[in-house]
Amino acid sequence: MGDAAGIGPELVVKLFANGLPAPAVVYGDTGSLVRAAGFLALSQVHIREFASMNNYLQESLTGHVATPATSDAVVIPVINCAPPIPASLPLGQVSKEAGQGAYAYLCQAIDDAMAGQIVAIVTAPLHKVSLKMAGVDHPGHTEILAQRSGAGQVGMMLLNDELRVLLVTIHIPLSAVPQQVTYENECTAIRLAHQACRQLGIEHPRVAVAGLNPHAGEEGRFGLEDVNIIAPAIEYMREQGVNVSGPYPGDTIFMRARKGEFDIVVAQYHDQGLIPVKYLGVDNGINVTVGLPFIRTSVDHGTAFDIAGQGVADESSLRVAFELAMKMRVVPE
């Protein structure tokens, strides 16, 4: 469900109210979802709480899960694995309670995915400041997913109908990026980009790598990372059987990929990769964590505190993320 003070609860309620292509449960707060259904005036939505995924599965198998009383009614099953969010919690503001909840919901979903009880996790947005207030020393979903699942090396891929991008570095200061542009990190990102495309059903991916410096270093005139680090990593991964090329100037490679020359671009840092994707629109943008032992997709926008509780949040990105999760597959490295 994400942060209870953001738009996550209303996105989830709208998603269920408009129908889903596969069964799903919500890891979140019952009261927050009831409140969202109320201000959305969705009287046909009924929230049903379960103590755990085991409890839900047992009742589902025995046919004891409540069915809608009328044909237009919608039941949202909720696994509430954290202390209830106070009804007085103001929407649109950071809070320790919302941060604690968001972290607990995600951790329980990860544990259930690792236990094979769910096949995919689709996440609504959380807030990094709320997480910090709750004492969570992770900057976002990706790092929590990697640590909790024990996956180790994971990558963040952003995609829409026109472009796919995987990042070498994620949530670090721009000044720290050059130190993290290492041979090992480049090889990992290229491998994960190849793997991500295969998870999407692209059997023979074409991977392009963006350079770190302007003009991809201009043969060393504008920096040596592209020549001394990125290019050798590309050559090694090519020897390993990956169809990868570059480094290409960052100001042109995304357009080349958008036109169909490549299946995915490996970007060196957060904004280099995310600006091109988000410029094309966030309504159908998706965030995918690559390298996990299960599928995880997410919206590519934030908690939108400025419109939380107004009923105007668009659930399109969450729906696209859900539909993509159902299409993806876990593939061996």
pTM for the predicted model, two decimal places: 0.88
Q: What is each CA distance from 225 to 48, 91, 235, 293, 296, in whole angstroms?
A: 54, 45, 14, 32, 32
What's the pLDDT at 328? 92
Q: State how far the Cα of 125 lies from the Cα of 108, in Å rounded to an integer.
A: 16
Q: Which of 122-126, 283-287, 314-318, 324-328 has the lowest mean pLDDT?
A: 283-287
CB atoms within 10 A of CB 230: 29
Q: Are 33 and 84 in contact (CB under 8 A)?
A: no
In residues, how long is the chain? 333
Q: What is each CA distance from 322 to 45, 147, 177, in whole angstroms?
A: 19, 23, 32
Q: Which of 54-63, 104-113, 204-213, 289-298 has the lowest mean pLDDT?
A: 54-63
Quick one: which of 298, 294, 328, 325 has its CA closest to 8?
Answer: 298
Q: What residues are paired with 245 via a beta bridge?
A: 208
Q: Are 301 and 317 in contact (CB under 8 A)?
A: yes
Encoded tokens for 46: 């009924």
CA-based torsion, 142, 115, 317, 309: positive or negative: negative
Quick one: which of 205, 138, 193, 194 has its CA closest to 167?
Answer: 193
Residue 270 three-state SS: helix
What's the pLDDT at 220? 84
Quick one: which of 214, 216, 169 has its CA closest to 188?
Answer: 169
- Domain 1-153+284-333 architecture: 3-Layer(aba) Sandwich (3.40)
Of residues 168 and 142, more confidently modeled: 168
φ, ψ for residue 221, nearest 5 deg: -70, -30
Q: Are 318 and 122 in contact (CB under 8 A)?
A: yes
What's the pLDDT at 63? 59
User: Beta 74-79 vs 26-27: how paired, if at all?
Assistant: parallel
The one-letter amino acid at 207: V
Question: Helix, strand, coil % (nearest 5) of the chain?
Answer: 40, 15, 45
CB atoms within 10 A of CB 241: 8
User: Beta 26-27 vs 207-210: how paired, if at all?
Assistant: unpaired
Given a cut of 60, whether residue 243 has pLDDT beyond it is yes
Q: State how far the Cα of 164 lies from the Cα of 273, in Å rounded to an integer.
A: 9
CA-based torsion, 327, 109, 29, 317: positive or negative: negative
Note whether 1-153+284-333 and 161-280 share their fold: yes
What's the pLDDT at 84? 95
Q: What is each CA distance from 326 to 23, 59, 116, 177, in whole angstroms?
A: 10, 23, 15, 34
Given a cut of 60, whether residue 113 has pLDDT beyond it is yes
Encoded tokens for 139: 């900057």
Domain segments of the chain as ranges:
1-153+284-333, 161-280
Q: Are 87 and 58 in contact (CB under 8 A)?
A: no
CB within 8 A of 125, min separation 6: which ones? 2, 3, 6, 7, 8, 298, 299, 301, 302, 303, 304
Topology of the domain comprising 161-280: Isopropylmalate Dehydrogenase (3.40.718)
CA 236 vs. chain centroid, Å, equals 29
Q: How confident is the model over 40-98, as pLDDT tens digits?
A: 999 999 999 999 999 999 887 765 555 444 557 899 999 989 999 999 999 999 999 99
CB within 8 A of 191, min separation 6: which ones? 237, 240, 242, 333
